[in-house]
Amino acid sequence: MKSKFALLFLALTISLLAQNNNRDKANDDIYSSRQTIITKTVKEVSPAVVGINVTELREYRDARSFDPIWRFWFGDQLDRVYQQQIKGLGSGAIISDDGYILTNDHVAGNAVTATVTLTDGRKYDAKIVGSDPTSDICLLKIEAKNLPYIKFGNSDDLMIGEWTIAFGNPFGLFDINDKPTVTVGVISNTNMTLSPSSNRYYVNMLQTDAAINPGNSGGPLVNAIGELIGMNTIIAQSQDATKYGLNIGSIGVGFAIPVNKIKRIVEELKNKGKVDRDFWTGLNIITVDENFAKTYNLFTNRGVIINQLTKDSPADRAGLKVEDIIVSLDGNKINNYETFLSYIFEHRTGDTVDVTFIRGEKEMTKKMKLEKTK
């Protein structure tokens, strides 16, 4: 009898152990299913994301100085210039183990002071190595060593629909627990050239539906394997929000500066502290639109028309003439004066540009070498 009970007890024990093992295996399977390429990449990249807090100094004059009645009574007394400290915030990415940090010019380019917070809680005063308002790229440096950093990827081989992960400091949330906010989306489009804003020119931007909100500017956009493919920069706003001056956050249309452009700008900022666009073309141009084309019976209703051209200038030597209508630069379509500037500012002194234009009813292409401003 005792042996029967012993066998029964042993069988029950084995059964319970088997159930526990099955439960443990099921739990392990569930846990493993939670670990995706996205969660692994987030864990790897997060330590290289920083929060940035800046102070800017803005100058302004008394609004009454523009009123003729006040000026009549008080004259030059109203011309006094006042200074005001403005605080701002944004995001950044560590791009080298010795403390170089990438962010937007509109985040830190005009900063009097800049404080960088790491994910381990350490705070550093950052200096501006260089900033380029035209491309909206700024390079900071902190005095630290052996830092985690994000590796550069390649923005030229991106596929529409591939995963994107956006990191940043929306609304200053980084300050709560020294951790970046993470959102996930896909590459929605590439080579998006946007309208200039505050003399910043956004060419060949990446579009993503990963949520990007105020404070995300300067933060990294990475692919599924953790490579930097862009820098979060702009969010689209609805027409109503723009009309009433509202900022309602992400509506699923965000734009990032592509990393291949960033690589070039970063090297220039490291070496010179600025981007040298000290070249000239000798062109004076105006936008061609539908009304302009109808008025002058032109062959095209887009582009820019040359209304003045300096003799012996790069444009003159290239064979361009007054009344030529420029419709593309290096194969990039020119719609107006702003897009012309956007693409010409992608170049540097000494570059050769393929200029496609319409003369009469004939389309032609000439090579124009950009020369240093005289």
> Catalytic residue numbers?
106, 136, 217
Beta pairing partners, 128: 140
> Among candidates 170, 50, 178, 49, which has minimal Cα distance to 114?
50
Task: Determine the Cα–Cα distance for residues 152 and 282; give it in Å rounded to an integer.
Answer: 37
- The answer to whether 137 and 257 have CB atoms below 8 angstroms apart is yes
Task: Determine the Cα–Cα distance for residues 37 and 115; give it in Å rounded to an integer.
Answer: 32
Using CA atoms, how far residue 100 sits from 45, 146, 282, in Å, is: 16, 11, 38
Contacts 24+ apart (CB under 8 A), 128-131: 129/100, 129/269, 129/270, 129/273, 130/268, 130/269, 130/270, 130/272, 130/273, 130/274, 131/105, 131/269, 131/274
Backbone angles phi, psi at 254, to 5 degrees: -120, 160
